[in-house]
Chains A and B, each alone.
Chain A
Amino acid sequence: MSVMDRVMPDVDPASQEAWVGELTAPGPAGHAAQEHLFDLLLRATRHQVGRLRHQVPGAGTADLEDLAQQAAADAMIAVLGKLDTFEGRSRFSTWVYKFGVLHAGVAVRRQAWRHREVSLPDTLEPRDRLPTPEALVQAGDLHRAVEVAIMHELTPHQRRVTLALLVDQVPVDVLAARLGTNRNALYKTLHDARQRLRACLLASGHLEEPSERSKP
């Protein structure tokens, strides 16, 4: 018996296949299959909302349940819309769970930042405004080199996105919503910015090429 069989013993591939087929069937069979799908999504969204509840400390039990229910409803639309892209590479239930987890995470992060401003600065606080001379010494050469590279190597858009995500810790979904873009595009911007910063610091000798052992 594999680990997957032990952790999800109730899933039988044949009945799973029949269930996927019934999701688009008319009548009671289709209705029952969709109810089963919603239950599965709700398990995922409740789990994820519970994991992230510290991000919304003002939310009560009913608020959290509302978030989970709404995220499950949104995820249900997404799953049904992408049903024909399911290729059976994983169990259908695992494939379904990822939609629930995604929608619940986005919902919690957006709720947490609902009233918070995202100011999108494109400059850093200068080091001479850091609190103590000791802090300046400890920050060292790399700190200064990174500051200079951010200001001179990145485009204004890369700088704003990078500072918002990695310095101000704005969640990527929240930033995407405020900028009218998506997680994918912001991660690409961040990747390109990181490449530029690394190239600059490698050239200046502030970074060394990673060894094979340091890679994940």
Chain B
Amino acid sequence: MNHHEPRLTAAAIDGLLLDTSPYLSCDDCFDQIDTYVERLLADPEHRDLPMQVHLRACGACAEEAEALLELLTSGE
């Protein structure tokens, strides 16, 4: 295996120090994401702190939420 030592960038530091409380697991995020996205579309002011914190901290879940929003609003 080719070992390397990664370098800490400013962006990586920001990611490392994110406050991810209140904790929400990826499974719970997946359970709720359909409801969350629909509520957000019905009311852009809708707030759900655990979900918002999770989506800020988990790139994969955030990417899926964006895709879901696009699917619901696109007319393709």
Q: Please give the residue numbers on chain A whose beta carbons come within 8 Å of chain B beta carbons, in ascending order.
A: 2-4, 7-8, 43-44, 47-48, 51-52, 89-91, 94-95, 97-98, 101-102, 105, 109, 117, 119, 121, 123-126, 130, 142-143, 146-147, 150, 162-163, 166-168, 171-173, 183-184, 187-188, 190-191, 193-195, 197-198, 201, 207, 210, 215-216
Q: Chain B 1-17 against A: per-residue CB contact (8 Å), 1 yes, 0 no?
A: 11111111100110111
Give the residue of A3, A109, A216 whose beta carbon is less than 8 angstroms from that of B56: A216
Give the 5 A-B residue pairs with the shortest CB-CB distance, closest first: A90-B34, A216-B52, A125-B5, A167-B6, A166-B15
Q: What residue in chain B is nearest A207 (Cβ atoms)?
A: B17
Which of B6, B26, B71 is close to A183, meaning CB atoms less than 8 Å apart? B26
Partner of A98, one of B25, B57, B64, B70: B64
A-B contact pairs, 7 of them (CB 8 A): A8-B72, A91-B38, A97-B68, A172-B59, A190-B20, A193-B16, A201-B17
Contact with A along B36-54 (1 / 0, CB 8 A): 0110011000000100110
User: By the criterion CB–CB under 8 Å, are A98 and B34 in contact?
Assistant: yes
Q: Quick check: B34 and A95 within 8 Å, CB to CB?
A: yes
Our pick among B16, B37, B53, B59 for the contact of A162 (Cβ within 8 Å) is B16
Which residue of A7, A89, A124, A187 is within 8 Å of B58 (Cβ)? A187
Selected contact of B63 from candidates A105, A166, A168, A191, CB within 8 Å: A105
Chain B contributes a number of interface residues (CB within 8 A of A) equal to 48
> Of the candidates B1, B34, B74, which one forms a contact with A119 in the assembled complex, judged by CB atoms under 8 Å apart?
B1
Identify B64's interface contact among A101, A142, A162, CB under 8 A: A101
Contact with B42, one of A3, A142, A143, A172 (Cβ below 8 angstroms): A3
Whole-angstrom distance between the Cβ of B25 and the nearest chain A Cβ: 5
User: A48-B67, A188-B25 given as contacts; is B6 within 8 A of A124 (CB)?
Assistant: yes
Q: Which residues of A contact B72 (CB under 8 A)?
A: 4, 7-8, 94, 97
Bound together, the chains give a CA A200 to CA B41 distance in angstroms of 39
